[in-house]
Amino acid sequence: MVPILLGVILLAPLGAVIGCLGIRHPRFVELLNLAAAVSVFLAVLVLLPLALAGPYLFWGGYLIVDPLSAWVLLSVASVYLLASIYAIGYMRSSPDRDLYRFYALFAGFGLTTLAGPLMNNVGVYWIAIELTTLVSTFLVCFELGRESIEAAWKYIVIVSGGISLALLGIIFYYWGGSLIVGATYDLTWAMLRHVAPQVDHTIGLMSFLLVFIGFGTKVGLAPMHTWLPDAHSEGPAPVSAMLSGALLNTAMVGIVRFIQVSDAAQLGLMPRTVVVSIGALSLFVAALFITRQTGIKRLMAYSSVEHMGVMALGFGFGGPLGVAGALYHMLGHSLNKSLMFFGAGNAMHVFHSKRIGRMHRVLSRMPVSGLLWLAGAVAITGAPPFGLFPGEFTILRAGLAGPNGWAALIMLILLIVIFVGFLNHFRAMYFGHAMKPRDETRHVPDRSAAERHEPLSGWCLVPMWLALIPLLVLGLWWPQSFMHYFSAIATELSMGGSP
């Protein structure tokens, strides 16, 4: 059963890529991508309980299906589905420019992001991450323009440089292991954990730091986050949702698995302290930039930095509570960030501007979408009754109970700061005063009146509902099955070895 599901998960997007490049009719490529996304999501849903039965290895040990990868696949697949639905509506309203290229790249992006958590071989995992960078660069600069090409250039240069550090760390660790086991051995996560206790501590620590900084560049932790606001704000909205909601999670898997390896190597308190500090720094940087932000999508991007910091804190605190909180947060963040980017895309479509200062009286211009967006904004700052609140609360509990309690306090203060700063922007957009006359004259009226009041298509609204309702449910009810799932993952991660 599991191999069939894996085949669906990997081959459906691949088929979509080939199909989009083969038949270039716009409606066909939209539906093909959507079909691939739906089938992937259903396959992942079926895979989720099956994965609990322990790690399965396929293809000569190159693919692994264990609870952690299944959970990450759930977040990725849900974002892929939601973004595919939204993309149909969004891309239809933009000029019809080679839609087949967009959907081929989009399906390719989905494929590489789904492949990441499934990779058992560390080198192949690294290559999957590198491929996601390459594919998403072209998606970021899809709407060609000065800013988008600048964003794409910064993205690819910074991230490629960063993950080359991760490769250095992996090779160091392999070298440390080769001093013990012999010159040739499999570069799998399990093998790394196996040699971990005997690897020299200096090598182990150095390679952990290199891998953390390297993959941390991809995840978007400060101070390596400088590409993130640009790349996430310049791409089309469905691409931003995929980048924030799916790709960052895939890169996080690498960090989590390497934390597991470093725990097995018993390097002391230093690795987790570093993870926690960088998480706290990400929250701090995000808080500063959110408070004084002028672009709506950059605001969402910094919110991604914040939530990645929270997840790093969760995984850094460790233990059953920390891991459970971080994983719950992962799913909640994926849904919520997609919701926010969809709302931002709708707002940009209605107001024809990216700047927060230009968006006024949102509820009067887009009633339903605006209400959903406001709910999403309240959710993403961690307020109950939505799904991010239990996750952050659990992470705080884990932090206060562990050795890095200071980080939990910093997290608390910064979350409050972000709450105020983020919702302040929304207050200005929804309930603020109208534009001053001075700004009115500078606004270039370049669209016809009919187009300005073009209603948002249903394709743009449905994914917002689909994202918000599970978020609300997750906030009100923490299912026992999830708890069971998380504790399985936490046991695996903290024991430093798979059962």
Partner 1 sequence: MFAAQLPPLAASLFSLVAIASLLLSFVMLGSRWLTDYLVAFAAQSWLIACLSAAIGYYGHFPELYVIAALTALFRGVVLPYLILGIIKRLDVDREMHERLSPSACLVVGALLVLFAFLISSHLGQALGLSGTVAVLALTVMLSMKLIGFLMLTVRNEALSQILALLVLENGIFLGSQILVPGMPLLIELVILFDLLVVVACFGVLVRFLLAQTGTSDASRLRRLVG
Q: Which residues contact 261 (CB under 8 A, 6 or more apart)?
A: 173, 189, 192, 193, 196, 208, 496
Q: Which residues contact 441 (CB under 8 A, 6 or more apart)?
A: none
Least distance (Å) from partner 1 to the CB of residue 168?
5
| Nearest-angstrom CA–CA distance, 350 and 285 | 30
**95 lies in the site for partner 1, by CB under 8 A:** no
**287 lies in the site for partner 1, by CB under 8 A:** no
Nearer to partner 1, 230 or 492 (CB): 230
Own/partner pairs, 286-295, CB within 8 angstroms, 24+ separation: 286/222, 286/414, 286/418, 287/414, 287/417, 287/418, 287/421, 289/229, 290/418, 290/421, 290/422, 291/417, 291/420, 291/421, 291/424, 293/356, 293/425, 294/355, 294/356, 294/357, 295/233, 295/354, 295/355, 295/356
**286 lies in the site for partner 1, by CB under 8 A:** no
Nearer to partner 1, 164 or 353 (CB): 164
Least distance (Å) from partner 1 to the CB of residue 451?
25
Map residue 119 onto helix, strand or coil: strand
Region 433-452 residues binding partner 1, contact defined as CB under 8 A: none
Nearer to partner 1, 213 or 488 (CB): 213
Q: DSSP secondary structure string, 69-98? A: HHHHHHHHHHHHHHHHHHHHHHHHHS----
Burial of 60-86, coded b for 16+ CB within 10 Å and e otherwise, reads: eeebbbbbbbbbbbbbbbbbbbbbbbb
Map residue 433 onto helix, strand or coil: coil
Interface residue with partner 1 among 152, 286, 340, 377 (CB under 8 A) is: 152
Nearer to partner 1, 244 or 369 (CB): 244
How many residues sit close enough to partner 1 to count as binding (CB under 8 A)? 52
Map residue 64 onto helix, strand or coil: strand
**94 lies in the site for partner 1, by CB under 8 A:** no
Nearer to partner 1, 295 or 325 (CB): 295
Least distance (Å) from partner 1 to the CB of residue 353?
16
Least distance (Å) from partner 1 to the CB of residue 3?
21
Map residue 271 onto helix, strand or coil: helix
Nearer to partner 1, 164 or 273 (CB): 164
**58 lies in the site for partner 1, by CB under 8 A:** no
**134 lies in the site for partner 1, by CB under 8 A:** yes
Interacting span for partner 1 (CB under 8 A) from 230-238, 324-332, 417-425, 479-487: 230-238
Strand ranges, E, within 102-165:
none
**229 lies in the site for partner 1, by CB under 8 A:** yes
Nearer to partner 1, 329 or 358 (CB): 358
**56 lies in the site for partner 1, by CB under 8 A:** no
Q: CA 300, 343, 138: angle at the middle one, nearest 5?
A: 65
- The pattern of x and - marking residues 105 through 124 that bind partner 1 according to CB under 8 A reads ----------------x-xx
Q: If we measure between CA atoms, which residue out of 299, 316, 306, 311 comes closest to residue 285? A: 306
Residue pair 299/356 in contact (Cβ under 8 Å)? The answer is yes
Least distance (Å) from partner 1 to the CB of residue 288?
11
Region 156-215 residues binding partner 1, contact defined as CB under 8 A: 156-157, 160-161, 164-165, 167-168, 171, 174-175, 178-179, 182-184, 186-187, 200, 202-203, 206
Least distance (Å) from partner 1 to the CB of residue 134?
5
| Nearest-angstrom CA–CA distance, 143 and 157 | 19
Residue pair 353/359 in contact (Cβ under 8 Å)? The answer is yes
Interface residue with partner 1 among 66, 130, 306, 492 (CB under 8 A) is: 130
Residues found near partner 1 in the complex (CB under 8 A)? 121, 123-124, 127, 130-131, 134, 137-138, 141, 144-147, 149-154, 156-157, 160-161, 164-165, 167-168, 171, 174-175, 178-179, 182-184, 186-187, 200, 202-203, 206, 229-230, 233-234, 289, 292-295, 298
